Structure 1
Amino acid sequence: MSAIETAGNDTVGPAITAKDDGFHFDVMSDRWWETETAWFAFCNPERRLGGWLYTMVRPNIGTVAGGAWIWDDSAHLPWEVLYSANYTVLRLPENADLNDIALPTGVSIRTLEPLTKYQLGFKDEGRIDLALTYEAIMPPRPLRKPGSSFKHLSHFDQFGRVHGEILLHGEAIPIDCLAIRDRSWGPRPEHRPGKSAYVTGIASPQDAFLAVTTWNDESNSIAYGFQIRDGETADLVAGRRVVERCPKAGWVNRIIIEATDALGRSLLAEGRRLSGIIINRHSFIDSNGLIEWTINGKVGHGEDQDMWPTHAWSEFARKNRAAR
């Protein structure tokens, strides 16, 4: 990978190359919590259906975690949604190659065109058979500013089109959507998580945004992100996330992203929750909502990942119950 460059006080990550479709075990330390992830989102907004394929590998202890989640507006708890498989410690296959891999979690990934096109699968016999294709609509964009929940990880994000079909409990569900994927590698210990949000929205290949809030900042200021406006991409340099929560459940019902990018253009995204799932990911929870957006006046979809340390969410929920 190329050397990291700097621009003012902001860190500009290394350029992403075809090598980054594979694992990065050779550049990791020997600490047990060195971690590599591969995540793909997808949705069928007409059915208020959202989904993830998620893989988390810890090469130094030889384990793989993750799986698949699919939900709609009928339930939000992982043991009640349409499908949930969240494995914690399965054995990583020997000589694993992320360009062509079938994992014991059920996830399979095959690179069809480097940094651009991927064949995705997930099988759980009798319950789900997923066959999707992800095709990028933009180059992968590396993490370019410090202060977010990704901290010292190498990381990139990439919007694309996801299409194919899910056979779920005997029903064929078509998928043809615009969504996002991300990749990260580096140190990710499980203790002492922080509070942050990872927010995405896309109306077309020419109109989209990513906003990640500052680590443990109650003002919900934006640490980094970017917007694609009229087909031109620029980093977000300032902004905030404003949310309206469900009085009873506490999750985000409505959301506003107000920001400015490096070209001086404004971003105004207003969203409402269509459905969601709350995932317990070791010492933090991810209250993830499928969001219908108006992005600079254009309608699209995306997600709001509202991430909390479990103890902080518990305290928030107790106070919320006491106030009702």
Structure 2
Amino acid sequence: MSTDTQQQVFWEQQNRSFSKPTPACDLLHPEAREGQTDPALTETQYFGFSVPEEHIHGLTYLWHHPNLGVVSGGVFAWRGVKRGPLEAELFDMVTFASDDCLAGDLYDYKLPNGYHVTTQEPMRRHRLRYADPGRGNALDISFEAVMPAMVLANGHHLEQAMRTTGELTLGGETYPVEGFNVRDRTWSELRRDTLQPGGMPPIDWMTGAFGDDFSFGCTAQDNLDSDPDWKGVIEASPGDPLKLGWVWRDGELTPLVSSRKRSRRTAGTLFPEFVEMELTDACGRTYEMKGTILAACPWYPWPTLEAVICSVRWECEGRTAYGELQRGLRPDYIRAFRGRV
């Protein structure tokens, strides 16, 4: 395996084509360790869920470092806007547990905090479970694919719209989870926590599903000509601000080829509040989308990254979707802007 494709994670490079999904995409990739001894070698598994009418959002995560023999991950859910993850109604993440729990691959595993995932049919159906009776928190949610997975041409990352069905209990109150979410998975990548020279502007991973027939994923920065706050302070990433994008529309999966995006954020927290964007796919179709943040909470998956996880109400072509925006903030940006009016 060439290590060249592993030196940048998917949001640091432009991606304009797909590869064919296979059931193996949903399982561990031990072959990645052949000739690759870097401790940053990574596999991840992400699922999200929401109760939009209650402004509740949540996620579950698995981060495997196969060369270190450890896993991190768990469950995270909250209502409204929180200043930090420890304010969330549910935040139960373990770090650096033994990867012995993955002896059954990703077909069935349970982390030490009780987070339990069953892959009932690779690339089609998953079930997530968790319970903390003492705090009155629990979830039991099934995910079923409503589209084939988008797999990047390098074969290291997938995204897929899923129908969510189940229940979430927070503080003893139970809510139905009935909607959609776009999951993702990455494997055979090196995820290092080193800082880039000159810093990195905020970048957003955005997803939404309007129904079985229409969903999208887009990873992009604000365009320079929209005068983002970081313009002239932090150097823009080279090339197109669109790093990755796709649209599933009426049974067809098409890559995005351009984006025009601007966003508004709060002064004190730097959390996003509103997003406008125009997306163009490879067939020449244009989608104008507006996104309003319903819930937001930061998370620190590694020390040099603040990931602001948001529930978003998207509007496009007279339809409404509930999805996500995950904004990556780096120290240079936070030092320059946090707390300034």
Pairwise TM-score range, normalised by the shorter structure? 0.7 to 0.9
Q: Is the 8 A contact 1:251 1:287 kept in 2?
A: yes
Structure 1 position 23 matched with structure 2 position 28 = yes
Distance 1:314 1:125 in 2: 40
| Distance apart, 1:217 and its partner CA | 3.1
Q: Go from structure 1 to structure 2 and tell me whether the alpha carbon gap of 1:188 and 1:262 turns closer, same or farther (over 3 Å shift).
A: same
**From 119, 129, 152, the counterpart of 1:121:** 129
Distance 1:306 1:205 in 2: 26
Give the corresponding residue for 1:310: 331
Give the corresponding residue for 2:231: none
Q: Is the 8 A contact 2:16 2:244 kept in 1?
A: no
| 1:147-203 superposed Cα distances (whole Å, 9 cap, x missing partner) | xxxxx7810000010111122222212111111111101211222264421011221
Give the corresponding residue for 1:139: 148
| Distance apart, 1:298 and its partner CA | 0.9
Give the corresponding residue for 2:84: 77
Give the corresponding residue for 1:251: 271
| 1:11-30 superposed Cα distances (whole Å, 9 cap, x missing partner) | 64542211222111222322
Distance 2:260 2:42 in 1: 29
Distance 1:216 1:280 in 2: 23
| Distance apart, 1:209 and its partner CA | 1.3
| Distance apart, 1:274 and its partner CA | 0.7
Distance 1:165 1:181 in 2: 18
Structure 1 position 198 matched with structure 2 position 219 = no
| Distance apart, 1:249 and its partner CA | 2.6
Distance 1:141 1:218 in 2: 24
Structure with greater contact order relative to length (CA < 8 Å, sep ≥ 6): 2
User: Tell me, which stretches of 5 or more residues in structure 2 are unaligned?
Assistant: 2-13, 222-234
**Residue correspondences, number:** 306
Q: Is the 8 A contact 2:220 2:259 kept in 1?
A: no
Q: Is the 8 A contact 1:235 1:261 kept in 2?
A: yes
Give the corresponding residue for 1:187: 190
Alignment of 1:216-295 (within 5 A): 217=237, 221-282=241-302, 283-295=304-316
Q: Is the 8 A contact 1:74 1:81 kept in 2?
A: no
Q: Is the 8 A contact 1:64 1:88 kept in 2?
A: yes
| Distance apart, 1:205 and its partner CA | 1.5
Structure 1 position 300 matched with structure 2 position 300 = no
Distance 1:296 1:27 in 2: 43
Alignment of 1:3-152 (within 5 A): 12-28=17-33, 29-73=36-80, 75-93=82-100, 95-127=103-135, 128-144=137-153
Q: Which amino acid aligns with 2:141?
A: L
Q: Is the 8 A contact 1:71 1:81 kept in 2?
A: yes
| 1:28-71 superposed Cα distances (whole Å, 9 cap, x missing partner) | 32211111000001101010111100110101111111211101
Distance 2:244 2:310 in 1: 20
Give the corresponding residue for 1:178: 180
Q: Go from structure 1 to structure 2 and tell me whether the alpha carbon gap of 1:160 and 1:311 turns closer, same or farther (over 3 Å shift).
A: same
| Distance apart, 1:297 and its partner CA | 2.4
Aligned Cα root-mean-square deviation (Å): 2.4
Q: Go from structure 1 to structure 2 and tell me whether the alpha carbon gap of 1:68 and 1:204 turns closer, same or farther (over 3 Å shift).
A: same
Q: Go from structure 1 to structure 2 and tell me whether the alpha carbon gap of 1:14 and 1:266 turns closer, same or farther (over 3 Å shift).
A: closer
